[in-house]
Amino acid sequence: MFVDSHCHLTFPELTAELPAIRRAMAEAQVDRALCICTTLEEFESVHALALQHDNFWCTVGVHPDNEGVMEPSLDDLLQRAALPRVVGIGETGLDYFRLGDRTVADMAWQRERFRTHIRAAQACAKPLVIHTRSASDDTLALLREMGEDGREGAAGGVFHCFTESLQVARAALDLGFYISFSGILTFKSASDLREVAGFVPLDRMLIETDSPYLAPVPYRGKTNNPSYVPHVAAQIGQLRGLSAEAVGAQTSANFERLFPGVMSPATGSAA
């Protein structure tokens, strides 16, 4: 019924707890999860999860904030994207939050890394999983520069863990992207974000945990995991006058549309 469209189950906070997490997911009716890659060094472990479990899939990518790691080439991404159960490119994007003494101009390496991911997504026809923090103008501009405007040949994708303004959401939707909401939506301080969630069309929306981070109320401050994603659906339901189950059904259908072939184990087919 529910899909966690973005989680990090290979992170040390969660790896040892995976059997318990999977039981909790089943009890919460969370039937699928997309395991997100953040470095090429991590990919083998992320991919192994997707191969070992019929309700897990994965992505390949290098997070924009990761420095001192293997820099991905186009071939690096395409070779891994061609493997079974790899359904997306990312997590990728731009993050200027930790500039320190650097300027935006100094982040040219990050923008070029993002371009490499976009080229890979377009070449393999798999969607982008986009992270943007303190960099929304450049993120949108670079997507437009690379032809990610919804026309033929565009990869499309999702702006994950969305925390930006209504204006940014509107621009992302205009480019053909989906918007994914996390447990942040349940935080008392997130009234502006709830306004965005009330605006985004239900058929362009995903839900996620971004676990092990950002556990929703009533688990805020604890280690997050995919079994908590129904709380995000419930918050959206409150905003839209719908049940959590109705939001879960719609966001699951959206997930299947964005990532073709990623079906519930109960219904058969898998990418």
- Is 207 inside a domain boundary? yes
Total domain count, the chain: 1
pTM above 0.85, yes or no: yes
215 has a pLDDT exceeding 80: yes
Two tokens, residue 166: 């209504």
Whether residue 263 is contained in a domain is answered as: no
Question: 85 lies in a domain?
Answer: yes
Establish if 265 belongs to a structural domain.
no
Residue 270 has pLDDT above 80, yes or no: no
d(CA 153, CA 238): 37
Q: Is the pLDDT of residue 42 over 80?
A: yes
Tell me what pLDDT residue 267 has: 54
User: In this structure, what CATH number is given to the domain that contains residue 243?
Assistant: 3.20.20.140
pLDDT of residue 261: 76
For residue range 132-159, list pLDDT tens digits in order: 999 999 999 999 999 999 888 999 999 9
pLDDT digits (tens, 9 = 90+) for 234-254: 999 999 999 999 999 999 999
**Dihedral, CA of residue 260, residue 157, residue 197 and residue 113, to nearest 10:** 150
User: Is 269 within a domain?
Assistant: no
Find the domain containing 16 and state its range: 2-258
